[in-house]
Structure 1
Amino acid sequence: MKITILAYGRLREYFPEKTETAFSENTDLKEILRQFSLENDDGGSLLFDCSGHLRRNIIVQVNKKRIVCDSAASFFPKDGDEIILYPPVSGG
């Protein structure tokens, strides 16, 4: 299946703005993001902690619907889906 991954904000310093890539059917969102992060130098530590858990401060959307990090391993994107990654929100 083909998936589009978009990165915004400071994540663009580590990942391409837009990546179109293929994954096997029934690949969960966490695995897609893991493989994506391995293809991009230093990107893995931005998306995953040292225990291999998806960082809670990263905002992940699939087709503009937010996916809670804890459910990424049980969410299965479909062919043509768009995954959007936003950096942590900060400010004051």
Structure 2
Amino acid sequence: MKIEVLYEAQLRQLAGAPSMHFEMAEDSTLLDVLRRAAEEGGSEFGAKLLSPEGGLQPGILVFIGEQAVAADAVPQQSVQDGDSILLLPPISGG
């Protein structure tokens, strides 16, 4: 199945692209997609996206379409063919 992952802010800069498309197995989870994105995006991007343990970094917001996904639901959240996943890193400033 085909999945699109969209990047914002620092993730976009580190990935060098606003989005990537991945071909994933039918039984893939959201975490599988994020791990694939981390591999494809390079080491700096991967470290910003995933913790050393392989889970989502704290503060990263994840949306499938317009639906927010709670951080603790990421490992078991299923994805569907054609899903668009938005990754939004923490933004600071004032």
Normalised by the size of structure 1, how large is the TM-score? 0.92
Q: Matched residue pairs, number?
A: 92
Task: State how far apart, in whole Å, the 1-side matches of 2:5 and 2:54 are.
Answer: 20
Partner of 1:74: 76
Q: Which runs of 4+ in 1 moved over 4 A?
A: none
- Three-state SS of the structure 2 residue aligned to 1:45 is helix
CA contact (8 A) 2:5 2:86 kept: yes
CA contact (8 A) 2:6 2:19 kept: yes
Task: State how far apart, in whole Å, the 2-side matches of 1:69 and 1:38 are.
Answer: 20
AA matched with 1:34? R
Task: State how far apart, in whole Å, the 1-side matches of 2:35 and 2:57 are.
Answer: 12
| Identity over aligned pairs, percent | 30
Mark the runs of 5 or more structure 1 residues left unpaired by the alignment.
Answer: none
Say if 2:12 is the partner of 1:12.
yes
Say if 2:62 is the partner of 1:64.
no
1:56 Cα deviation from its structure 2 partner: 2.0
Task: State how far apart, in whole Å, the 1-side matches of 2:40 and 2:23 are.
Answer: 13
AA matched with 2:12? R
Partner of 2:25: 24
1:35 Cα deviation from its structure 2 partner: 1.0
Write 1 or 2 for the structure with the bigger share of helix.
2
- Three-state SS of the structure 1 residue aligned to 2:41 is coil
1:9 Cα deviation from its structure 2 partner: 0.9
